Chain A
Amino acid sequence: MRMHRSIATLATLALAAALAAAGAVQADDKTLTIGLLGPLSGGAASYGVELMRGAELRVEEINKAGGLKVGADAYRIKLVSYDHKAQAADTATATNKLIFQDKVKYIIGNAVGATCNAAQTITEPNKVMFAFVCWGTNNLAPEKPYSFRSMLSQWELTEPFYRWVKENHPKIKRVAAISPNDTSGKDTNTAVVKALKALGFEVAADEYYERGTKDFYPVLTKILAQKPDMIDVAAAPPGEAGLILKQAMELGFKGAKGWTAGINPFTIISVAGREAAEGVWSPANINVKGDHVSAAVRKFGETYEKRYGEVPGAIAVANYAAFDVFTQAMQKAGSVDTDKVLAVLTKEQFQTVWGPLAIGGKETYGIDRQFLYPLVISEVRQGKVVDIAEVLPAGLKKK
């Protein structure tokens, strides 16, 4: 009996070794494998799923057009993605797998702040280009030259957004901010509060809630007691943001509403209901159905909706554009080598689905690694998302 157990142990070990060996991938030299990480299941899955869809669409377009032509070669792009379930330890394992087994040199797409840190401990020493939408401030730094943020973060959004509020709605004096209690939430509220103070607003409240909360009556009761003129649901994801606004309305709030990190205003309308969502301002989204967007954006939105049954939010667009930026840079550099591409990336401005795009951010992060593109402020009117202003973040010149 005991010998049987030992044999079982040995057999399992042998099996493990055999299977691990079998898992090694053969590299094809005309295929460019690009990696993607994300929370693809669990609570934050909507971010990961959007990242993947945005990537898939762009990769398919490139492959259909005959592949990515870099120098004398035409590469077929292969996308490999792993689900890290928003866990730092899983992210490390998945990153290792991408780099050492799948042999990727580019990981385009990740979300959830703490996972970015975990991945960076591996991508940076291995000179792997890493583009993400994580909003953690320390994710971009001079010591991390291969890391890029492909979506405007709270540091680029808050100042222009609140400047616009101040100029166009001078009656608003007291603003309350509420975000989930995690990295992006804390960083967002910090950025909001900083911008508010710099512009002369009063901070009525700076509150956090645990992710997954659905009942905001307690925290809203606390916030409304401070009589804010405006509530910013800051870094709350669409579902929770919608609930906060709906419940605020039920509790009698009639003031202005903002959503600094509002990446998908369509969801907020359906969750909050038309009445509660009326008048919400979002500086961070792209409205693929808007009147002023280019044909490219509109087409992207239509293709996406047709294929996936949902309207894309800013994260899907961001990753779509990120793939665009990196592949364009490869073509300009004439190589897929990350150091060569790096040299090109920081010097050029790119044309993407967002419009003109530059890579800046040195004043905030100490290094130019933040994608900068025009900010569109939208307002929800009568159940529809309407673009009302376009603002350029600091560091981007219109071509």
Chain B
Amino acid sequence: MPIELLVQALLNGFGLAVVYVLVALGLTLIFSILEVINFAHGEFYMLGGFAAYYLFAVGGLNYFATLVLAVLLVGLAGVVAERLVFRHLRGKTLNAFIVSLGLLWVLQATAQLSFGVLDKSVPSAVSGIVRVGGVIVSRERLLVILTAVALITGLYLFLKFTRTGQAMRAVAQDADAAALQGVNIELASALGFGIGCALAGAAGALLAPIFAVSPTMGALPVVKAFIIIIVGGMGSLPGAVLGGLLLGAVEGVGTLFMSSAAVNILGFLMVIAILLLRPRGLLGAA
């Protein structure tokens, strides 16, 4: 096994995982603050992708402006969803799950009706490849990786150092105590949901030129996101990153040796193993 092959495989895995980490972070943020498993999370990813399609591919807007706008639009959609629907379901995990399932179908059907069923391609913002030794990375993917890392860092700084971010963390830890301290729960809830969806939308917009967009594109990333946050630990940001790297490595290298179906099973077996050996995840909080 030539070493370049292995490195290429690892890089393949990481390159994608870092974007799925964005989706996972969004999901875990929403779960931490609202105690809701948003089954429709992948649809916000899809909305981000279509925002990129209409703004960049059709509208001809500058790519960076597209990203910013896509993130804002999807974030706004998230806030609307929270205000209309999810704020009534805080803490009611089961009911929220069913409602989010309904939302998933509503968004899917609307997307298929509005956007059509065929895949739509989004042109690359940058082209060309970068070669290091025998390993290849396309410039496009490099851009995606860097942007994703920037977003993750931004989120970390926001949660750690800003008042709003700290308020959100307080609500995640203990909503009642936070309320007693005067934290505006409604604001934290709306913002948390909005930011969570915005992260998914960012992932969708970033991956749009690489993978094309379609109304069903959100299904797979959400499954990956679930795996990542379980492995890394729900509610832990560094955990999500670690979980993503692990999943990326396993899937990237795994494909070299086994069939795709087996690789998929591997991911789920990882989940089961973690839940048995260390249920709170690798870096999960108590």
Q: Is there direct touching of A and B in the complex, by C-beta distance under 8 Å? A: yes
Residue positions of A touching B, CB distance < 8 A: 41-43, 45-46, 49, 181, 207-210, 212-215, 217-219, 221-222, 225, 238-239, 242-243, 250-252, 267, 270-271, 273, 309-310
Inter-chain CB contacts under 8 Å: number: 92
B window 1-55: CB within 8 A of A: 5, 8-9, 12-13, 15-16
**Among the listed A208, A221, A225, which residue makes an inter-chain contact with B259, where contact means beta carbons less than 8 Å apart?**
A208
Chain B hits for A222, CB < 8 A: 255-256
CA distance A214 to B207 in the complex (A): 10
Q: Is the CB of A310 within 8 A of B255?
A: no
Q: Mark B107-124, 1 if CB is under 8 A from A, else 0.
A: 011001000111111011
CA distance A183 to B109 in the complex (A): 26
CA distance A217 to B14 in the complex (A): 11
Q: 11 other contacts beyond A215-B16, A218-B13, A222-B255, with CB at 8 A cut-off?
A: A46-B117, A208-B261, A209-B260, A212-B216, A214-B217, A218-B252, A218-B254, A221-B255, A239-B212, A273-B121, A309-B116
Q: Is the CB of A213 within 8 A of B118?
A: no
How distant is B62 from chain A, measured CB to nearest CB, in Å?
A: 20
CA distance A207 to B219 in the complex (A): 23
Chain A hits for B8, CB < 8 A: 221
B98 in the interface (beta carbon within 8 A): no
21 contacts between A and B (CB under 8 A): A41-B109, A41-B117, A42-B216, A43-B216, A46-B118, A46-B119, A49-B117, A210-B264, A215-B16, A215-B211, A217-B16, A218-B12, A218-B251, A218-B256, A222-B255, A222-B256, A239-B118, A239-B212, A270-B121, A271-B212, A273-B121
How distant is A314 from chain B, measured CB to nearest CB, in Å?
A: 14
Residue positions of B touching A, CB distance < 8 A: 5, 8-9, 12-13, 15-16, 108-109, 112, 116-121, 123-124, 129, 136, 138, 207, 210-212, 214, 216-217, 219-220, 251-252, 254-256, 259-261, 263-264
Known: A41-B112, A46-B118. A219 touches B261 (CB 8 A): no
**Among the listed B9, B212, B217, which residue makes an inter-chain contact with A221, where contact means beta carbons less than 8 Å apart?**
B9
**Among the listed A210, A212, A271, which residue makes an inter-chain contact with B121, where contact means beta carbons less than 8 Å apart?**
A271
Residue of A nearest to B139 (CB): A250
How distant is A6 from chain B, measured CB to nearest CB, in Å?
A: 24
Q: Is the CB of B109 within 8 A of A243?
A: no
Chain A hits for B12, CB < 8 A: 215, 217-218, 221
Chain A hits for B119, CB < 8 A: 46, 238-239, 242, 267, 271
CA distance A334 to B208 in the complex (A): 54
How distant is A271 from chain B, measured CB to nearest CB, in Å?
A: 4
CA distance A41 to B5 in the complex (A): 39
CA distance A185 to B119 in the complex (A): 19
Residue of B nearest to A209 (CB): B260
Q: Is the CB of B117 within 8 A of A45?
A: yes
Chain A hits for B207, CB < 8 A: 214
Chain B hits for A239, CB < 8 A: 118-119, 212, 214
Q: Is the CB of A251 within 8 A of B251?
A: no
How distant is A240 from chain B, measured CB to nearest CB, in Å?
A: 8
Residue of A nearest to B254 (CB): A218
Q: Is the CB of B212 within 8 A of A219?
A: no
Q: Is the CB of B220 within 8 A of A212?
A: yes
Chain B hits for A215, CB < 8 A: 12, 16, 211
Chain B hits for A41, CB < 8 A: 108-109, 112, 117
Known: A213-B260, A214-B211. A310 touches B220 (CB 8 A): no
How distant is A351 from chain B, measured CB to nearest CB, in Å?
A: 31
Residue of B nearest to A238 (CB): B119
